[in-house]
Chain A
């Protein structure tokens, strides 16, 4: 019988496209929405069928896998990076677009996502740093065929990684070499490139490779990236398939190249000075420009995995006991199954909350780079006009601009009615200032989204699997959760393993322009908390303050041996603080996305109908996640602040227990002290005893009172977080899910 409509303020359905478009800020971009839909059709159609048929059981490249590229082409995925003048469809920066494509494909299989975007990665060095001629030449040849057109587009591979002990450990050390093979008088030099690759994606089908090489010739300065084509004279050996256990829908091989190419293939061009070829960009310059964008898409893959796990897990939980004669329809056990158990619900809430935070973080990073991209080009243009070239000269310009950038950040935090509007506009319209400010955040968000999403995401995928019982580790598991779990581990590694992200963060997060903005964000969270306390913004603000205090403390403090704490080799300190920051950032962007939905959702009738319930649920997830983030930050900070002080022992240097006689004497000036001290410090029970008989001497916190107060405050700020989790858990028992997953298993 149909039921009466109930106006419960709880989540009615799983968040749909209209909600996500608002939260992730592409509701006004129909071009992106279209590509999302066509990508989804490929992911949940041909890709899912391939996975279900067992195509992942081999690392070999098969015809079935290769056929996916036709679907990618038709969907517009492989051509997404093209500029409109070269047959592309989407104008402007495409970081958000790539993140969304990766998200949609990884919802089903991240190997497919990697395969589809590998061409983009291969072209990225040319796109970011290539000469206009190089860009045009390759872009035009990479245009996918239109339906009915019989033409093979050029496909590429990005060739950086080499066998150990070269890149992969440190991208600065290259085994690949370039020499001058011939240099005809007045003609273009011909280069001889020797390169061995490892884990090179797309190698089965690549027609060209953008390869990183170092000079092996005094007539070539430094390193560079060169474009190698399969028709170049020499050896273009695609190599052995990499025997990987994950991402099997992408082609990965260990190629070998020994080729002669013209010097015009040096990406970004070169100059000749005193008979020496000087590439305009080193391989380091190029990969920095590439990875700071493409790493974001990797973070999007793991976010998708977490959110994609929600529906299969709910369905599994609810249907767990159906089919046995003793469990009758209508009974709680039949309708809710495992959802009768609080633990299963709470764990799913954690997974969902992590997925929301991961998606919010990665899409924020992608949007930020969409803002940075045009500014960066404008910056390059201005600096070129000013005759500024080279990293050092650029740094000098930015050092001089620093006060302006800091002033701009300060003005940003002021209410519009209180700030100097004309000065604010002046600074805002200065592309160099804006670039500096946004770049400082971008340099943090890119590694943070890659590091946290993939690392924490992999852990949470394990949790998702555990909720499916033994089913979780079978090929039949709905949603391919086991594959996704394993894939997440690769995502934590490729395009720069976790240590690389942590190292980058440990530097960029200490930049004053970033920290000035971070201070603004603390204020922002406090303001949000006053309006929307249920988001956990208050908890987060306190944790952010603690992180900042800890960073500043560690930058000046030394350990018990007098050694500096915050410096590059001390990764026990720097990496841990980088990890802590990621938790904070993810939670912050999650809260901001929910507020965006709250602000804009009512204007869309598709969203408005169940908006109150959706907001209530997503707000509870924010609270759950901010509590978890704050807990992590509190733990890490406490370990770092206290952990490098020597634990007191029963010796004169580190331990000063009061004697009863001393306390009696103090009673005359401070009545009650004897009783009060007993709770906080060591007291000898008897004169002459070496120490009180207990586990160990008490630690004292001289100089750390502020931190101790913060810790106490942070604990108190967790108030309500578990109630939010209970509410979210209850919502999971009521939310309406589709009858079946919309892709095969």
Chain B
């Protein structure tokens, strides 16, 4: 495709996974303890989408990558200090909560507004990328709702690979049961791709790209529109972190074979 793609990557931010995450009731509803103070990272699923987007854009001259992110802009700015050095993109920030306790429809609506506001965005070149899952609260529906709002009906979830065929069609590998992939071909944009982990490693750091990105990121952050996002009408019956199961025994002088046998037994259970 000689004219290139307009790749819009939707990516939220989440607390750094090493942080202690403790759900708490706040005056505005559920949240995480000290959420604003915890360091954040780009949602890892969406980050894969960004790397795939950058890779595809590099291979397809004339392409442009937009990173649309709904998050508190002060936190987003911190996250950009790292992410901006990984790939060239134009940031479209929306100042709002990045909490896992927001409603997918409201988030999708805010992202829709932001995407529709991108000057010069060509729907016929549009590839809407995002994470298939999320590290905050994987509702798994935001990207699909957004795609519907944008009237994009070719939607793929759990994508691990997207190849451009010589005729401009896209061959897409989606994850299915048993570690297999479903192979689909669609005629091309517009299309929604909810990425799994993809196949690409994290791109090497490139400070030059970072400096170049920041020249547009900082003004964009300053002008970011505020979106009121919440979970109106949603009742959270209970909130808890996934349980960690730890079964530790201290056994002195255990033989390697014995340890391996026990592990196998445990897995088979």
B140 contacts partner chain A, Cβ-Cβ < 8 Å? no
Asked if residues A605 and B74 are in contact (CB atoms below 8 Å), the reply is: yes
**CB-CB < 8 A to B211: which residues of A?**
31, 34, 89
Q: Complex formed: what's the CA distance from A33 to B34 in Å? A: 23
Which residue in chain A gives the minimum CB-CB distance to B75? A606
Partner of B248, one of A1, A33, A323: A323
- In the complex, identify which listed stretch (A11-19, A544-552, A592-600, A615-623) lies at the interface while the others stay far away: A11-19
Q: Shortest CB–CB separation between residue A462 and chain B, in angstroms?
A: 28
Q: Does A181 contact B (CB under 8 A)?
A: no
Any chain A CB within 8 A of the CB of B206? yes
Contacts A74-B206, A146-B206, A737-B20; is A4 near B74 (CB within 8 Å)? no
Given contacts A74-B206, A147-B204, A147-B206, contact A33 B22 (CB under 8 A): no
A30 near B218 (CB under 8 angstroms)? yes
Does chain A have a CB within 8 A of B19?
A: yes
Q: Mark B64-92, 1 if CB is under 8 A from A, else 0.
A: 00000000101101100110110000000
Given A17-B78, A737-B20, A739-B20, CB of A4 within 8 Å of CB of B25: yes
Q: Given that A5-B25, A5-B26, A30-B218 are known contacts, is A37 also in contact with B20, CB under 8 Å in the complex?
A: no
Contact, CB under 8 Å: A2 / B20: no
A4-B25, A74-B204 known; A742+B18 contact, CB < 8 A: yes
Are B240 and A41 touching (Cβ within 8 A)? no
**B158 CB within 8 Å of chain A:** no
CA–CA, A403 to B248, complex, Å?
A: 74
Could you tell me if B37 and A76 are in contact, using CB atoms closer than 8 angstroms? Answer: no
The CA of A4 and the CA of B23, in the complex, are separated in Å by 9
User: What is the CB-to-nearest-CB distance from A92 to chain B, in angstroms, rounded to a whole number?
Assistant: 14
Bound CA span A37–B42, Å: 14
Does B207 contact A609, Cβ atoms closer than 8 Å?
no
- Cβ of A740 within 8 Å of any chain B Cβ, yes or no, is yes
- Complex CA gap A30/B75 in Å reads 13
CA distance A1 to B82 in the complex (A): 34
Name A34's contact: one of B74, B203, B214 (CB within 8 Å): B214
Q: B85 — which chain A residues lie within 8 A by C-beta?
A: 34, 37-38
Given contact pairs A76-B205, A738-B16, A13 touches B34 in the complex (Cβ within 8 A)? yes
Quick one: which of B22-42 are within 8 Å of A by CB?
Answer: 22-26, 33-34, 36-39
Known contacts A31-B211, A605-B36: A37-B24 contact under CB 8 Å: no
Does B199 interact with chain A (Cβ within 8 Å)?
Answer: no
Residues of A within 8 A of B248 (CB): 323
Question: Smallest CB-CB separation from A604: which chain B residue?
Answer: B74
Asked if B210 and A34 sit within 8 Å, CB to CB, the answer is yes
A35 interface residue, CB < 8 Å from B?
yes
Which of chain A's residues has its CB closest to B207's CB? A76
Residue among A2, A38, A742 having the largest count of chain B Cβ atoms under 10 Å? A2
Q: Do residues A30 and B37 form an inter-chain contact, with CB atoms below 8 A?
A: no
| Distance in angstroms between the alpha carbons of A728 and B67 in the assembled complex | 42
- Chain B residues near A34 (CB, 8 Å)? 81-82, 84-85, 207, 210-211, 214
> Does B116 belong to the interface (CB within 8 Å)?
no
Contact indicator A3/B78 (Cβ below 8 Å): no
Alpha-carbon distance A323/B246, docked complex (angstroms): 11
B109 to chain A, nearest CB (A): 23
Determine whether the beta carbon of B207 is less than 8 Å from that of A41.
Answer: no
**Which residue in chain A gives the minimum CB-CB distance to B82?**
A37
Residues in B with CB closer than 8 Å to A89 are: 207-208, 211
> Chain A 593-636 against B: per-residue CB contact (8 Å), 1 yes, 0 no?
00000000000111111100000000000000000000000000
Q: Using Cβ atoms and an 8 Å threshold, which residues of chain A touch B218? A: 30
Most buried by A among B19, B37, B82, B239: B37
Contacting residues, chain B, for A740 (C-beta < 8 A): 18
Contacting residue for A146 out of B34, B72, B208, B210, CB 8 A: B208
* Distance between B54 CB and nearest chain A CB, rounded to angstroms: 12
A77 to B128, CA, bound (A): 35
Complex contact A31–B214 (CB within 8 A): yes
CA distance A79 to B208 in the complex (A): 11
CA distance A76 to B82 in the complex (A): 12
Residues in A whose Cβ lies below 8 Å from that of B204: 74, 147
Interface mask (B193-221 → A, CB under 8 Å = 1, otherwise 0)? 00000000001111110110010001000
Complex contact A5–B81 (CB within 8 A): no
With a CB–CB cut-off of 8 A, which chain A residues contact B36?
605-606, 608-610
Judge whether A738 and B18 touch: CB under 8 Å: yes
Cross-chain contact B75 with A38 (CB below 8 angstroms):
no
A143 to chain B, nearest CB (A): 11
**Residue A12 contacts which of B34, B72, B208 (CB distance < 8 angstroms)?**
B34
Q: Are A2 and B205 in contact (CB under 8 A)?
A: no
Task: Give Cα distance in the complex from A610 to B34, angstroms.
Answer: 8
The CA of A38 and the CA of B210, in the complex, are separated in Å by: 10
Residue of A nearest to B217 (CB): A30
**Beta-carbon nearest neighbor of B18 in chain A:** A738
Whose C-beta in chain A lies nearest to the C-beta of B32? Answer: A2
Check: A736 CB closer than 8 A to any chain B CB. Answer: yes
Say if the beta carbon of A717 comes within 8 Å of chain B: no
Q: A16-B39, A34-B210, A323-B248 are in contact. Are A609 and B34 (CB under 8 A)?
A: yes
A11 → B minimal CB distance (Å): 10
A96 an interface residue at 8 Å Cβ cutoff? no
Q: A5-B24, A18-B74, A34-B85 are in contact. List 9 more A-B contacts (CB 8 A).
A: A31-B211, A31-B214, A34-B84, A34-B211, A89-B211, A146-B206, A147-B206, A606-B72, A739-B18
Chain B interface (Cβ < 8 Å from any Cβ of A)? 16, 18-20, 22-26, 33-34, 36-39, 72, 74-75, 77-78, 81-82, 84-85, 203-208, 210-211, 214, 218, 239-240, 248, 250
A-B contact pairs, 30 of them (CB 8 A): A2-B25, A2-B239, A3-B33, A4-B25, A12-B37, A17-B78, A30-B214, A31-B211, A34-B81, A34-B85, A34-B211, A34-B214, A37-B85, A38-B85, A38-B205, A38-B210, A74-B204, A74-B206, A79-B207, A146-B206, A147-B203, A606-B74, A606-B75, A606-B78, A608-B36, A609-B36, A609-B37, A739-B18, A742-B16, A742-B18
Q: Closest 7 A-B residue pairs measured CB to CB?
A: A76-B207, A609-B36, A2-B23, A37-B81, A738-B18, A37-B82, A5-B24
The chain A residues found within 8 Å of chain B, CB to CB, are: 1-5, 12-13, 16-18, 30-31, 33-38, 41, 74-76, 79, 89, 146-147, 323, 604-610, 736-742
